[in-house]
A and B are shown apart, each in its own frame.
Chain A
Amino acid sequence: YALSGLKWDKTDLTWSIHSYPNPSTSPGLANNVVEDLLTRAFKAWSDVAPLNFHQLRRDSNGATAKGDIRVSFDSMFHEDGYPFDGQGGTLAHAFFPGTLDISGDTHFDDDEIWSYAGDSRSTDLFTVAVHEFGHALGLSHSSSDPSIMRPYYQGPVEDIAHFKLAMDDRLAIQQLYGVKDADRPGGDDPDFPRLPSPPPPRPTQHSDPSFQERCQGGFDAIGNIRGEVFFFKGAQFWRTQRDGSLVSLNPAQIKNFWIGLPEGTNKIDAVYERKSDSRIIFFIGSQYWVFKDTVAMAGYPRPLSDWGMKKKSGERVNRVDAAFIWAHNGKTYLFSGGEFWRFNENIENGQRTMQPEQGYPRENTLWEGMPAPIDGIISWGEGNTYFFKDNSYWMLTKGVLNQDDVTPKSIAVDWLRCPAPPSTSTPANPRFPKKCTCNFLG
């Protein structure tokens, strides 16, 4: 078992319910059933440790008393830093004991179908509640099997009325609060390292000089590297994480981070992370570099001619606009001018093929509605393809080359944490460049 390093300094604890499951999502789970299930979930812990739980109910004015552990059913963003994500995914969370207002509070995702002893489509409230109350009492996730504190939902327990905690969980709670009916309830302070205090908050640093650069778009290259999106512009770059946050509002300098590019590099044409070995490939002009993490490998740069790309006109390609791996088929696509080439970069017989597949180049127009030439392309999200040009981006659903609705959106607003411009005008749609776009107000 694992302990959080925090525990209540008392054994009589109060709890209250501040909202109930949505009856339309969780039919058949009446409020009194919810109360009964939560009471039983607390009992699982008080059966083995000298803990007493008292439910606080609404007072005569209808206000719900606070209590130590406040239970609620919430959806999506609910202002505690742990947003829910609709049905499936994250189910619930609880805050460790302490003196903060939020300490001990337990939140269940209201978009789940909560039930008890239900079918496989629903989630068993009792089982999840026992787990979360473990956190509210000071336990962390356990890797032991069996343990109710394993992080993954394991399905409903067999018999709620006779549920008993596994040995791992009993030992954990008794380490914190002692053994039930022991002479000295409360237990000794556990012998484990305390978590350090969080560093003091730092004031927000304004980044005015780079604000314009970041928010006006026009990126040289955009790549999905190590699960983040890198936006290169001039001699610098920004990084956007999966949750939409920026690693920093301030740009990083290419020369300080990517070691091995020529002195004075102030434009990257294209970049992508190779699927087979996670190497990172940079294209600048008629050369390319292969990086292991942040350092260029020996023997680079090499000429772009290694890739064997020829235009339909027969000319050799002397620069790359964009490179990406299409999540749909795992193949690498390089774009130049109005044409693109496809590569299978899997290693076969110890060799990596560097020649384009038969039938290429093809016209960019196959990707219907996408602009050309393009600044950057990535596979992202649920495997969808994102095309970037100037300060707009377009999204094609996974595996799709042409879809009816391809509305351009703002890179600055959606990817780089810039404020939305005051104007309501929509960027031009490259698919119908001369066509007016009417909005609801227009």
Chain B
Amino acid sequence: STSAEPDQYSRAVDWLGRYGYLPRPDPYTSQLLTKEGIEEAVRIMQRFGGLRETGKLDSETLKLMSKPRCSLPDIVGRDDILRRRRRRKR
């Protein structure tokens, strides 16, 4: 579970997608982000940012998310990697 308020939570999900930690929704599969998927994305973001890996939207994590930054994603090509994996499985 997350200690963030709903607005912080939705903002964080948007932030995680924007900077490459979560896949952007695919209109062809329309999957729902799972709680575990979001927590894992938070963990990777925390690792990348040098924070303690809790998987929770704690105050340190929200603080780092609100810091001014470069617009480019931190994880590049995650969607491409997932798409390739899916294609290979098929």
Which residues of A come within 8 Å of B, CB atoms?
2, 4, 82, 84, 88-94, 112, 123, 128, 131-132, 135, 140-141, 143, 145, 151-153, 195-196, 198-199, 224-228, 239, 241-243, 247-248, 250, 252, 257, 273, 275-278, 292-294, 324-325, 327, 330, 378-384, 398
List 20 A-B pairs, Cβ < 8 Å.
Answer: A84-B71, A88-B68, A90-B70, A112-B68, A128-B70, A131-B70, A132-B70, A141-B72, A143-B74, A151-B69, A152-B68, A153-B67, A199-B83, A228-B13, A275-B1, A278-B2, A278-B38, A292-B35, A327-B6, A383-B5
Q: Which residues of A contact B35 (CB under 8 A)?
A: 277-278, 292-293
Q: In the complex the two chains form, is A226's CB within 8 Å of B48's CB? A: no
Residues in B67-90 with C-beta less than 8 Å from chain A: 67-74, 76-77, 80, 83-84
- The answer to whether B84 touches A151, judged by C-beta atoms less than 8 angstroms apart, is no
A380-B10 CB under 8 A given contacts A195-B77, A330-B5: yes
CA of A239 to CA of B25, assembled, Å:
10
Contact A91 B80 (CB under 8 A): no
CB neighbors of A among B18-64 (8 A): 18-19, 25, 27, 30, 32-35, 38, 47-50, 64
Contacts of B33 in A (CB 8 A): 226-227
Contact partners of B5 in chain A: CB under 8 A? 275, 325, 327, 330, 379, 383
| Residues of chain A contacted by B9 (CB below 8 angstroms) | 227
* The residue from B13, B47, B64, B80 contacting A226, defined by CB atoms under 8 A apart: B13
- Residue in chain B with minimal CB distance to A149: B70
With A145-B50, A248-B27, A379-B7 as contacts: A242 and B14 at CB distance below 8 Å:
yes
A135–B33 Cα distance when bound, in Å, is 30
Cross-chain contact B68 with A247 (CB below 8 angstroms): no
Q: Main secondary structure on chain A at its contact with chain B?
A: loop
Q: In the complex the two chains form, what is the Cα distance from A384 to B2 in whole Å?
A: 19
Report B25 CB to chain A, min CB distance, Å. 4
3 cross-chain pairs, A with B, having the tightest CB-CB distances, nearest first: A227-B13, A242-B14, A93-B71
Whether A325 lies near B6 (C-beta < 8 A) is yes
The answer to whether B76 touches A4 (Cβ under 8 A) is yes
Across the A-B interface, how many residue pairs have beta carbons closer than 8 Å? 142
List of A residues within 8 angstroms of B32 by Cβ: 225-226, 257, 293-294
Q: Which residue of B lies closest to A252 (CB)?
A: B30
In the complex, which residues of chain B have a beta carbon less than 8 angstroms from the beta carbon of A4? 76
Q: In the bound complex, do residue B10 and residue A275 qualify as a contact, i.e. CB atoms below 8 Å apart?
A: no
Please, which residues of chain B bring their CB within 8 A of the CB of A398? 7
Interfacial chain B residues near A199, Cβ < 8 Å: 83
What are the residues of chain A within 8 A of B19 when measuring CB–CB? 151
- Which residues of chain A are near B83, meaning CB under 8 Å? 199
Q: Is the CB of A91 within 8 A of B1?
A: no
User: Within the complex, what minimum Cβ distance (angstroms) separates A219 from chain B?
Assistant: 18
Name the CB-closest residue of B to A195: B77
Instruction: State which of A93, A252, A382 has its C-beta within 8 Å of the C-beta of B7.
Output: A382
Measured between alpha carbons, how far is A278 from B12 in the docked complex, in Å? 14
Contact (A379, B80) CB under 8 Å given A135-B72, A278-B1: no
Task: Indicate which residue in A135, A152, A384 contacts B64 across the interface (CB closer than 8 Å).
Answer: A152
